[in-house]
Structure formats: structure tokens, C-alpha cells
Amino acid sequence: MKNTIKILIAFVSLLLLSCTDESQQLGAISPDTSFRLLAPTSDFSLVLDGAKLNSLATTFVWNDPSNPTGTTVTYTVEAAATGTNFAAPITLGTTTDHFLDVTEGTLDTTAKALGLAPLVAGQIDVHVKTSTGVTNFYTITVTPYQPKWSVIGDATPGTAWTTDTYMTFNPSTSTYSITLPLTVGSFKFRLDSSWNTNYGDDGNNLSLDAGGANIPIATAGTYTIVANFATHTYTITPVVNIWSIIGDAPASPSVAWTTDNLMDFNPVTNKYSIVIHLLAGKSFKFRLNHDWGTNYGDDGNNLTLDNGGANIPVVNDGNYYIVADFTGLTYTITQL
């Protein structure tokens, strides 16, 4: 019996010793006491949606062991252009919590203010700071949205006051434009196919008024409409000579060598322009009034227009800004 007790005591002693060693090892692991951004991390990527600008894009979460209750310190969540070391940050929001919800609208506005182009994935750096410290940062990927403005009304193509005819955004001028046939009637501008944001013209004086009066069209014809929704102005110009881009280079919904992509007319410069997506390895030409009777290509591929000339090749796929002078017979093509 004594031997059995001795063996039991020895076993318990070993067990206690083992537990003590384990406790010492666990005690050697130091807790994370750093002020640290936990989410979103650098694998975050989001394509922003104009229909969801009030929706949650992401929640910023951080750890601050020096302020565990999260009620006595003001935290500022900042974003900056990648690689600038937060030299010129933009505030996404402030809070006394250890988290901050950020909407798609806030992220979109911030990304654009930091130089990210709409519809193009870009990166921004984000971190959290207080009056006494700053967290680590992550680089997140964001694709800003491009507002879709359209003209709509009984003067526009399609079903009256139901069908949106979308305008094209020109990043070179920050304007939206469209050249299209209009009938006698009226139209308005609206955003993202919704009446929540729409513009008319109360004084019929080429200034845009929120929810304003319908814009009248007294004479049917083809018009170039250019709108600047930042300055709330627009122009509407009758087009007599209708020039277009045609070929297999224009992307969908064009039908190769059949669909005319109408160019905008500028009465000040007497030039025509268009922003259009072109496909690599394809080509295009210019033609007048939907007819091959007068058309221009470029025999030397040297930015001069030749009557009936060779198809103009497109090397790289992408969006292009094309300006043509059919008086001086020259053109420019700039990839955006």
C-alpha cells in the first residue's frame, strides 16, 4: 500500500510540474498591445455601384488596447493616394467606437477626390489615427462609378418619358454629350434612370434647374446636346451635316460597317468629336449623313483625311476621344 501511495504522489507531482511549466510558457506569450487596423485589409476590392451609394461598402475595425472601452478617444479614419505616406489625406469619418461604417457613396467621392478614374480599378491607402498615434495602413482597391446621365421625353427616341437615351461622358471636358434625332416635343435630363435626380430648364435659358420645366424642341432634326452637371449649364445645337464613325472597330452595340456612331458638332470650332470604345485589330472610317457617298479614311495613317481613303486601324483596345476637322481634313485620336 505504501508503495502505491508513493507512486501516486510521484505521478501528481509530475502532473503539477507539467502544468506549471505550461503555465509559464503561456505566460511568456505577450498580448498584442498595439494600436492596429484589422479590417479592411489589402485584399479588399469593390466595384462601386451608383444605385447603392447609400449602402454599406465596408466596416473599418481596429484594436486599441490602451482604450478598451472605445469611448474616450476620437478616432479618424483616413484615406490617401497610394505611396504618398498620407501627405494629403481625406477623412472618411470620425468616431469614438472601435469601428466605422463607410458607405459606397463616401468611398466613391473619396476615391475620385484622390484621383481615381471612374470605371477603372485603382488603389488607395487607409489607416486610423488619433491625436497621439496612428495604426498600420492597408492598400485597398476601389473602382469608382460613373454617373449615367440620359435625356428622356417625348422628343427623344423610344417610348415617351420611359426610354432613357444615355449620354457619353468626356473626361477631357468633364461634360456629358449626345448627338441624336429629336422630334417636336420636349425632354429633360435624369440621373441613373431615376426621377430622384432630374434637371429641366425653368427659364429656357440654357441653365439647368433641379426638377425644372421640360425643355422644348420646336423643330424636328438632329441635335448635339452637351451638359455640364457641375456648372448646371447645357448647349443644344442643330446639326446639318451629320458625321459619324463607322466600322468594325466600334464596340457593341454597333453592327460592323452598318451602325453610324454620331459625332458631336461644336459650332465654335466647327469640328466634330466623339468618345467611343474601339476594339484592337479592327478599323473605322468617317462618313457623312449615313451614306457612303462622302466618306474619309487615312491613306498614310498620318492623321490626315483622304476622300474614300483607307480604313483607319486601331492598335489597342480602349476608350478614345476623336476630334475631326472636315474643313482642314485632319483628325486626332487620343486614348483615354
The pLDDT tens digits for 240-257 are 999 999 999 999 767 899
User: How far are the Cα atoms of 176, 299, 326 from residue 287, in angstroms, in the given order?
Assistant: 23, 15, 10
Residue written as cell 470620425? 94
Question: Alpha carbon 238 to chain centroid distance?
Answer: 31
- The pLDDT, as a whole number, for residue 76 is 97
- The pLDDT, as a whole number, for residue 50 is 87
CA dihedral over 120, 49, 208, 322, signed as positive or negative = positive
Backbone angles phi, psi at 69, to 5 degrees: -80, -25
Cα 127 from Cα 212, distance rounded (Å):
43
Q: Is the peptide bond between 147 and the residue preceding it cis, with omega within 30 degrees of 0?
A: no
Q: Which residues, in sequence order, are CB contacts of 197 under 8 Å at separation 6+? A: 190, 191, 210
CB 218 within 8 A of CB 253: no
- The pLDDT, as a whole number, for residue 12 is 33
Cα 213 from Cα 225, distance rounded (Å):
17
- The pLDDT, as a whole number, for residue 97 is 93
Cα 224 from Cα 242, distance rounded (Å):
10
Cα 306 from Cα 328, distance rounded (Å):
11
Cα 75 from Cα 97, distance rounded (Å):
8
**Residue 47 is placed in which grid cell?**
466595384
- The pLDDT, as a whole number, for residue 84 is 97
DSSP label at residue 254: P
Q: What is the pTM of this model?
A: 0.76
Q: Which residue, 190, 168, 193, 164, is CA-closest to 179?
A: 168
Cα 228 from Cα 176, distance rounded (Å):
6
- The pLDDT, as a whole number, for residue 51 is 83
**Residue 333 is placed in which grid cell?**
485620336
Amino acid at position 55, single letter: S
Residue written as cell 422630334? 183
- The pLDDT, as a whole number, for residue 32 is 55
- The pLDDT, as a whole number, for residue 172 is 85
pLDDT tens-place string over residues 194-220: 999 999 999 999 999 999 999 999 999
Residuewise pLDDT in 10s, the chain (336 residues): 434 433 433 333 333 334 434 333 434 444 556 899 999 999 999 999 988 999 999 999 999 998 887 678 999 999 999 999 999 999 999 999 999 999 999 999 999 999 998 888 999 999 999 999 999 999 999 999 999 999 999 999 989 999 999 999 998 898 999 999 999 999 999 999 999 999 999 999 999 999 999 999 999 999 999 999 999 999 999 999 999 999 999 997 678 999 999 999 999 999 999 999 999 999 999 999 999 999 999 999 999 999 999 999 999 999 999 999 999 999 999 998
